[in-house]
Amino acid sequence: MNILVAAGGTGGDLFPAIAVIEQVRARLGNECSVLFVGNPHRIEARIVPELGYQFAPIPVTGFQGIFHRSTPILPLKIIRSILAVRSLCKRHKIDVILCGGTYISYPAGMVAQFLKIPMMLLESNVLPGKTNRLLAPKASAIVLAFNESKQYFPTTLHSKMHVIGNPVRQSMLVDLPNQFEARVSFGLDPHKPTIFVFGGSLGARSINHVIAESAAVLSAEGIQVLWQTGKNYTPPSILPNGIICRTFIDDMASAYSAADVVVCRAGGGTVAELTIVGKPAVLVPLPSAANNEQEYNAKALVNAGAAIMIADKSLNDSFFKVVTELLASPAKIEAMSTAVSALARPNAAKDAADILIKLAENQSSHSTREKR
């Protein structure tokens, strides 16, 4: 079984696809060959080879706006990417294509149509992205994280949709470490209320800013902060007691375990992880997201009683009050934890892998019949 994966640009697009592939490899072992394509300058170019998968760069980039200097050559990049993916599919005898949903997926989706290769789309957000909406009619299967997403697609496509949740990597499906030990491992006091703050691999400017501004008063209130800044932010050189700062945190399971409350963006992957680990959150949707999809994701958790949402523009005014009031109410934290855990779909990656394998098997059977 030869699989081509087109996913990347962000971790939220890449990691669900990796989660599916992990499950496929667990099922098929050496009988499965996987090739990822993506942007040579984005997260996939580093993560995919580190995990031992083949990676082939393609030149496609996202649309940056009508007046951006990259816009005039974008059509050429798309054409070159389509030709590159087409060549890769023929050379590697690809049986099935898995698309993560951002601009990286578009050339692969077009090739799937041209070469009649079955394609599965992953949609991590409540509001589907533009690429997935364009590719949906060409897809053989569409995996949805939220049932609400169906309303944004034509009803004629609903029969090939599978609402199974957002695939999460196996490393997040294990039991969380003991909270006492997790806090100690980060140099935190195991007995003090703790928030875990992060904004993705690059960080979130507004979240980083409000933590820097609030660090002293949080520390004075006895609140600890485990703070992942991302690589695009330099924190203050001196921080109060109980404010532990890291550029990256590899052991996310321990970071989640250490926290009473998580403060973060509301990407599809992050929301799925919160449901798996059962942590209540203060969600700050990214305002510059292309379709405002993070606000839709956040509202889904808020409506379930699993999170509190603060608009990015209101963060400076609301953050301290919201966090301190929440930490002062263990009953509310417990209720939110129960609510967020009820939304978990821990088998999403396995279920998506089953669908992908079935598509490839059907394609193989069809090809065999045609040869006869």
Residue pLDDT tens, the chain, 372 long? 999 999 988 888 899 999 999 999 999 988 999 999 999 988 899 999 999 999 999 987 766 656 566 667 778 889 999 999 999 999 999 999 999 988 899 999 999 999 999 999 999 999 998 999 999 999 999 999 999 999 999 999 999 999 999 999 887 787 889 999 999 999 999 999 999 999 865 558 899 999 999 999 999 999 999 999 988 888 888 999 999 999 989 899 999 999 999 999 999 989 999 999 999 999 999 987 667 889 999 999 999 999 999 999 999 999 999 999 999 999 999 999 999 999 999 999 999 999 999 999 887 665 544 544
Domain total of the chain: 2
The answer on 329 and 186 residing in a single domain is: yes
DSSP string over 89-105:
HHHTT--EEEE-SSTTH
Predicted confidence at residue 176, as pLDDT, reads 86
**Domain span holding position 147:** 2-169+346-365
DSSP character at residue 262: E
The answer on 7 and 87 residing in a single domain is: yes
- CA nearest to 142, candidates 127, 130, 124: 124
Judge whether 301 lies within some domain.
yes
Judge whether 190 lies within some domain.
yes
The answer on 212 and 99 residing in a single domain is: no
The answer on 64 and 211 residing in a single domain is: no
Classified as helix, coil or strand, 297 is: helix
The answer on 204 and 73 residing in a single domain is: no
Judge whether 372 lies within some domain.
no
The answer on 110 and 214 residing in a single domain is: no
The answer on 9 and 30 residing in a single domain is: yes
Judge whether 41 lies within some domain.
yes
How many Cβ atoms sit within 10 Å of the Cβ of residue 367? 12
- CA nearest to 142, candidates 132, 151, 154, 127: 132
> What gap in Å lies between CA 58 and CA 188, rounded to an integer?
43
> What gap in Å lies between CA 340 and CA 178, rounded to an integer?
19
Measuring CA to CA, how many Å separate 303 from each of 84, 155, 307? Answer: 44, 25, 8
The answer on 196 and 294 residing in a single domain is: yes
Judge whether 337 lies within some domain.
yes
The CATH code of the domain that includes 244 is 3.40.50.2000
The answer on 120 and 20 residing in a single domain is: yes
Judge whether 19 lies within some domain.
yes
For the record, the structure tokens of 266 come out as 């509301």
The answer on 290 and 355 residing in a single domain is: no
Predicted confidence at residue 200, as pLDDT, reads 65
The answer on 361 and 247 residing in a single domain is: no
The answer on 272 and 307 residing in a single domain is: yes
